[in-house]
Chain A
């Protein structure tokens, strides 16, 4: 059975189901990360002292990660733009680059975490580290989730391009929205945790 407005837009809203769906989901994610940020504010303002981020965390490495994630956002939107231009080869390349950037991000994160743990800095050590590990950990899970979806659309999911290119383009666009959101959260996470 065909569900209407999966590929074509509904005239009065001007939107497809998937577009609305992903934005609604992102709205809930704003509340999720918002709650964690609110918790951070509450705990920090209630603390007698709070270390400045750069005294504990590796700013250069995180700056690299910021650049990598922003770059991956560009490659993601370029992947979608390529599909809009009908260029599947370019799509493949940009999507691949996006996944690769995500991988780099995770690898850097791995080094960051293991360095902390190696130096005896655990989530249980103090609240700064607790919120650091929790916020970046949850963000990291979202990176992994986004990468999984992107990998699916790079690989087995890409078959859809042949049978229903419009639907495939929509799905890539919607995944892209999720990926940009993951980047957006990092844009706030980075200064909050590392620079302040």
Chain B
């Protein structure tokens, strides 16, 4: 089926792609640096709550870069954002509620 709304017509937008390639390389270098940082910090043997917070923060930054640039989320359409937002809400419910349920009155190894 032909149409003028091709998602990706190869050969077109070459300059556009070039710009993106530069971004990919930048993101790659950033990810490498962040990986080194997160491993280095782990050698500091910070207290568990702090270590968790820092590690998760760095991981979130790295993950966001992959999502935003490699997965093109920065320039995605509203529908995709909507699906992801819904997913994140339920993801948080899934992560939080079982743990909260437990800290509120269940037996736990003392």
Residues in A whose Cβ lies below 8 Å from that of B27? 74
A73 at the interface (CB under 8 A from B): yes
Work out how many contacts link A and B, with CB atoms closer than 8 A: 163
- Report how far A127 CA is from B70 CA in the complex, Å: 34
With an 8 Å Cβ cutoff, the count of chain A residues facing the other chain is 66
Taking a contact as CB atoms under 8 Å apart, the answer to whether A170 and B79 are in contact is: no
Q: DSSP class of A's interface residues: helix, strand, loop or mixed?
A: helix
- Report how far A60 CA is from B2 CA in the complex, Å: 51
Indicate whether A30 sits within 8 Å of B91 (C-beta atoms), given known contacts A74-B28, A81-B21.
yes
Interface size grouping (class) on chain B: 35 or more
Residues in B whose Cβ lies below 8 Å from that of A181? 71
A120 at the interface (CB under 8 A from B): no
Taking a contact as CB atoms under 8 Å apart, the answer to whether A4 and B91 are in contact is: no
Residues in B whose Cβ lies below 8 Å from that of A192? 55, 59
Contact residues of A between 90 and 123, Cβ < 8 Å to B: none
Taking a contact as CB atoms under 8 Å apart, the answer to whether A8 and B21 are in contact is: no
Given contacts A169-B7, A192-B55, 5 further A-B contacts (CB under 8 A): A7-B1, A27-B83, A71-B28, A73-B70, A84-B17
Taking a contact as CB atoms under 8 Å apart, the answer to whether B8 and A170 are in contact is: yes
Minimum C-beta distance from B45 to chain A (A): 8
> A-facing mask of B70-108, CB < 8 A → 1, else 0?
110000010110011011101100110011001100001
Residues in B whose Cβ lies below 8 Å from that of A13? 77, 79
Contact residues of B between 1 and 51, Cβ < 8 Å to A: 1-14, 17, 20-21, 24-25, 27-28, 31-32, 35, 38-39, 42, 45, 48, 51
